[in-house]
A and B are shown apart, each in its own frame.
Chain A
Amino acid sequence: MEEKIKCRKCGREIEREAFLLNLRVCPYCNDHTILGSMDRILITADEGSFREFSRDMKSVDFLKFFDLKSYKERLMEAKLKTGLNEAIVTGEAKIGGHPVALGVMDFGFMGGSMGSVVGEKIRRLCDFSIKKVVPLIIFASSGGARMQEGIMSLMQMAKTVSAVNRVREKKIPYFCIITYPTSGGVSASFATIADIIISEPGALFCFAGPRVVSQTIKKEIPPDFGLAERNLKNGQVDMIAGRKEIRDTLARLIRLFSS
């Protein structure tokens, strides 16, 4: 394995060891790179508190979808690459001693795309949050809907919003943390209806991605398009919190909402 890696943003070389100890954040430019869901849970939940739900739930190729590859093949590749069964890991956990319903998306699994399994796992997570009256916390990271599931992936947007709506009706707080990148069907459904939206620094968070927008308006777009700092300025997120502060920020919010 390479000893050094190059930052995709500032281009500087970072010792792999230092990069990992810094939670995959560039020590020079604070670029928050993509973090797998298991690593995310490790640094967010209290040690040993996480218990996963519906771990064996798997997608099925019900449309027999194939483009250059079949959906089955793409699923298999994603499984081998990530060691996960799907693009979200959900379960119960504790954060700062407080029990929560926690969902963490994984961009590595088919670009974090939302299909039937992501939708169903979020629905069940909402059910758990309601049953145990614990805050709902979701880390979003997704390129959008899972095209290989056709219209059913669009329906997951409505499904997850409906499930979150039931959490809202019970006056249980829902916090969503936006990580690089979150766009399309996920940003236009459960992610943006959270009570509090927190963004990681530099995280891209938009509906249409920069390439599509640039093609549509036939113009160059500013380099900060859709990024956390611009979203904060535009009033689209409540705050920006770095990877190291997120656990404390969440714990404080939970305390504020549970009085």
Chain B
Amino acid sequence: MDLKKLKEVPKSYVKEILRSLSKFERLKKIPFFAGIHFKDAEKELDGKIEGYRMIDRQSARVWRIVELSRDGRRPQCLDYVKGIFTDFVELSGDRLAGEDKSVMAGLGKIGGRTVAILGQNKGKDTKERIKYNFGMSVPEGYRKSIRIMDIADRFGFPVVTFVDTPAAYAGMEAEDKGQAGAIATSILKMFEVSVPIIVVLIGEGGSGGALALAVGNEVAMLENSTYSVITPEGCAAILWRDPAGTKLAARALKITSPDLARLKVVDRIIHEPMGGAHNDPRRMVKIVKRYLTDALGRWSKFSGEELKMMRAQRFEKFGFFEETDTF
């Protein structure tokens, strides 16, 4: 076995390769295996090394998309609101405890129809980022969304959401005020309303904080956005116990638009201008406007009961499992 080959293999795999290598070395010492299987073993090991190299290349590719999805120059919720809706009025407060700026809420018109709009802003410079808390929401934000969805439901306004959040905010006060319950109740509200809900994932779809605004009749995703149960960094810390696993986690979690379309978690991929949405934000906003006009038209023909049933069916079918005993 040529150990020099190991130099080209990502560090995180070397240990595993050495482990299988020592297994083969041990096998070789058993007379029965001597000379017979070793050639195959070497071939298998070569295959493994090539496999790991491929995984590493894929991880790097996925990581570029993660970086694009987080790029501060990407159009944010506010840009879409400004460029798509007329007569927009921003609404504030949860009427319980406060106002969370990270969640933007309001009413506006598109194609002559009033819609309720919800979304997260991350901010484009330090001042904005602090104002929006980097797009990380607290219970007040989710409860404001619930309040606006209630208005939408009573007045028959379709709901459009723009999802872009690293995660729900992990703070003391947020926890004391019931962060978990606020997210769960927002998800619940999205199953309760009798109006169409169209979700557009525009950047980072981070975990429960994203899902709180992402239970739609239709879920669309910008080409270079991501949607994940946990950040690659968080996943690496827990499962790899090493920040070096971050890119590998990004690949393993299957968080890119083609992966999510394959899993049917996303219904549509909205293509971005060449090189990414930040290269031509105005065009990106136009593309999303066209998509939303189409989508709202498509979903306007269903009754409230049908819309609720279709949402329940869309989400209750998710999951892979087997039921027969195989051994």
Contact = CB atoms under 8 A, between A and B. Distances in A.
Interface string A114-152: 011101100100000000000000000000010101111
Contacts of B171: 213, 216-217
A165 B170 contact: no
Interface stretch (A27-35, A92-100, A182-190): A182-190
Contacts of A189: 183-184, 187, 208
Interface string B153-176: 000000000000000111110111
Contacts of A59: 320-321
Interface stretch (A7-15, A40-48, A50-58, A250-258): A50-58
Contacts of B311: 162
Contact of A226 (B175, B254, B316, B320): B175
Contact of B187 (A117, A158, A216): A158
Contacts of B170: 207-208, 212-213, 215-217
A231 to B, nearest CB: 9
Nearest to A120: B319
Interface in B207-256: 207-208, 211-212, 215, 227-230, 235, 238-241, 245, 248-249, 252-255
B315 A162 contact: yes
Contacts of B215: 158
A158 B315 contact: yes
**Most-contacted residue by chain A among B179, B183, B315 (CB, 10 A):** B315
A238 to B, nearest CB: 12
A259 interface: no
A185 B208 contact: yes
A55 to B, nearest CB: 10
B228 A190 contact: no
A203 interface: no
A216 B188 CA distance: 27
B46 interface: no
A155 interface: yes
Contacts of B87: none
B176 A191 contact: no
Contact of A152 (B169, B263, B322): B263
A153 B229 contact: yes
A219 B311 CA distance: 41
Nearest to B12: A68
Given A188-B208, A236-B181, A161 B229 contact: no
A194 to B, nearest CB: 10
Given A56-B325, A147-B238, A151-B229, A161 B320 contact: no
Nearest to B242: A68
Nearest to B167: A208
Contacts of B318: 116, 119, 152, 155-156, 158-159
B9 interface: no
Secondary structure class of chain A's binding surface, majority of residues: helix
B227 A151 contact: yes
Interface residues of A, number: 64
A158 B318 CA distance: 9
B312 interface: yes
B191 A161 contact: yes
B265 interface: yes
Contacts of A226: 175
Q: Which 8 A-B pairs have the closest CB atoms?
A: A116-B319, A208-B170, A187-B180, A67-B239, A155-B318, A207-B180, A192-B181, A154-B229
Given A187-B184, A207-B170, 18 more contacts: A54-B323, A62-B320, A67-B245, A117-B321, A147-B238, A147-B253, A151-B254, A155-B265, A156-B318, A157-B208, A158-B315, A159-B315, A183-B180, A189-B208, A193-B184, A208-B168, A213-B170, A216-B169
Interface of A: 54, 56-60, 62-63, 65-68, 115-117, 119-120, 123, 145, 147, 149-159, 161-166, 183-185, 187-193, 205-208, 212-213, 215-217, 219, 221, 225-226, 230, 234-236
Interface of B: 168-172, 174-181, 183-185, 187-188, 191-192, 207-208, 211-212, 215, 227-230, 235, 238-241, 245, 248-249, 252-255, 260, 263, 265, 311-312, 315-316, 318-325
18 contacts: A54-B323, A62-B320, A65-B252, A67-B239, A67-B245, A147-B253, A151-B227, A154-B229, A157-B208, A157-B211, A165-B188, A187-B184, A188-B180, A193-B184, A193-B185, A208-B170, A213-B172, A221-B172
